[in-house]
Amino acid sequence: MPYEPPTHTVERSLRATTGAKVIAGVDEVGRGAWAGPVTVCAAVTGLRRPPVGLTDSKLLTVKRRTQLAAELEKWVTAYALGHASPEEIDELGMTASLRLAAVRALEALPVRPDAVILDGKHDYLGAPWRVRTVIKGDRLCVAVAAASVIAKVHRDKMMAELGIDHADFDFAANAGYPSPVHKAALEERGPTPYHRLSWAYLDALPRWRHLKKVRVWADGSVPEIEGQLGFDF
């Protein structure tokens, strides 16, 4: 299916309206997974023409995405990755974990960005970062698309490595996201050390429900589920 390539339109707008010179595109992967970290990539690209075929990582085949990530890592001005672990996700919740991973990525760049283009409509970064949110930024903005591809390939590789000792879960294929194989392994074996134990899927596992971690705010309330997929996917 044909698609429009991403552009530098948002970056040029930020340069013109704010005076920003170094602008990072930021995207995440792993938000809806049952296992593994949430991973954020921050990429600085400047205004150069990107490699052919760059788009949202979800629109690419595994082979093309892997090839493109290797090209992008040499092409971008700079990139860095940040992660929030399953334990941090359980303790902090997803929104705070996204911010933690994004800050880790941004602070790992060789130069602090003057502005950030963040994929989506919700600014989970906030002050002191100067943020422009862009819905479907991973399709529309070059820097965000680059971050999308690099983040996806790196996290997929990480999950494949974590899954070597847990072959029944097939992390190499599902990257910790829900799948029939993943669901069957959870029912039989219970969660691995890499699973998020505050996630809703545990509610449907009577043998393992006692492992669930419940976060409670200071006022005694239980936070809302943040985009989690339950067991009946």
Q: Does 119 appear as a known binding residue? A: yes
Q: What is the mean pLDDT of each run of 10 residues along the chain (233 residues)?
A: 83 93 96 96 94 88 94 96 97 94 97 95 93 94 96 97 95 96 95 95 92 71 52 48
pLDDT of residue 224: 52
pLDDT of residue 162: 94
pLDDT in tens, 114-128: 999 999 999 999 999
Asked if residue 227 lies in contact with residue 32, where contact means CB atoms within 8 angstroms, the answer is: yes
- 177/152 same-domain check: no
- 97/28 same-domain check: yes
Give how far Cα 120 sits from Cα of 99, 134, 231, Å: 14, 5, 25
β-strand 23-29 against 115-119: which pairing, if any? parallel
- 41/100 same-domain check: yes
Q: Is residue 232 part of a domain?
A: no
Domain termination residue (choose one: 162, 179, 201): 162
Q: Which domain holds residue 182?
A: 164-211
Give how far Cα 114 sits from Cα of 20, 98, 117, Å: 5, 20, 10
pLDDT of residue 149: 97
Q: What global pTM score does this model have?
A: 0.90
- 127/112 same-domain check: yes
pLDDT of residue 228: 56
- 39/143 same-domain check: yes
Query: What's the number of domains the chain is made of?
Result: 2
- 72/136 same-domain check: yes
pLDDT of residue 226: 53
* No. of helices (H) and no. of strands (E), the chain: 8, 5
pLDDT of residue 233: 42
- 169/108 same-domain check: no
pLDDT of residue 15: 94
Rg, C-alpha atoms of the chain: 18
pLDDT of residue 59: 86
Cα angle 87-90-91, degrees, rounded to a multiple of 5: 85
Instruction: Give the DSSP per-residue string, 23-38.
Output: EEEEEEE-TT-SBS-E
